[in-house]
Amino acid sequence: MKDLHCPSCGTPFVRVIYDEGTMGRMLTRFKLFPFRCQLCTTRFRVFRHHVPGQTSLTDRRQYKRLPVSFRANLLSENAVRMDNRVTDISMGGCTLETTTTLPQGTVIELVIKPASEEEPIKIGTAMVCSSRPESMGIRFLEMLSDDKNRLSQVILSLLVGQNLHSHLLA
């Protein structure tokens, strides 16, 4: 998909996504495939003669998770701050390694610290989507545009780094 770019921001970092619903499946039969920009989060459809590299049926994520090791603090409903580590991240969510897991559906506030010199990224509203021993899957629901832009820049640098690494191995 090297020739495919986001119509909104122009980035080549787009991902084919799982199509839900009758109308979506019908459009896919007419070779109009759904994509999601990994940076600006725009969802769009593109006509393709061949089926693009499909995401697996079990992976319904709209965004590719990228491995990281960032510090993070979370504030849950009971107002307890905890120091945690983000082990993977995308524009839509992250995995949080933690000693105290919260139940699925818990609404939290999350502050991610990508690097010591960078300004923290505040996710105003997030939700625990999965809870496992020592980690939680977090979905980002709401953040200010400045924080979204900072997160987008972090994701861009991770995607560029990953892209360069894969080209060096090839």
Q: Is pLDDT above 90 for 15?
A: no
Distance CA 85, CA 32 (A): 39
Identify the weakest region by mean pLDDT among 15-24, 40-49, 135-144, 152-161. 15-24
Please check the confidence at residue 163 and state whether its pLDDT lies above 90. Answer: no
Q: What is the pLDDT of residue 54?
A: 56
Which H or E run contains 33?
strand 32-37
Minimal CA–CA distance to 86: which of 121, 40, 119, 117? Answer: 121
Whether the CA torsion 48, 166, 114, 107 is positive or negative: it is positive
- pLDDT for residue 78: 64
Q: What is the pLDDT of residue 57?
A: 47
C-alpha span between 164 and 94 (Å, rounded): 23
The pLDDT of residue 167:
46
- The candidate with the shortest Cα–Cα distance to 70, out of 106, 104, 119, 103, is 119
Average pLDDT over residues 25-39: 87
Q: What tens digit of pLDDT does each residue of 51-100 get?
A: 666 554 445 678 888 999 999 998 876 656 678 999 999 999 999 998 88
CATH 2.40.10.220 maps onto the chain at 66-160
pLDDT in tens, 98-140: 888 889 999 999 999 998 777 999 999 999 999 999 999 999 9
* CATH superfamily, region 66-160: predicted glycosyltransferase like domains (2.40.10.220)
pLDDT of residue 60: 66
Q: Cα separation of 56 and 77, whole Å? A: 35
Cβ count within 10 A of residue 85: 14
Give the mean pLDDT of 33-45: 91
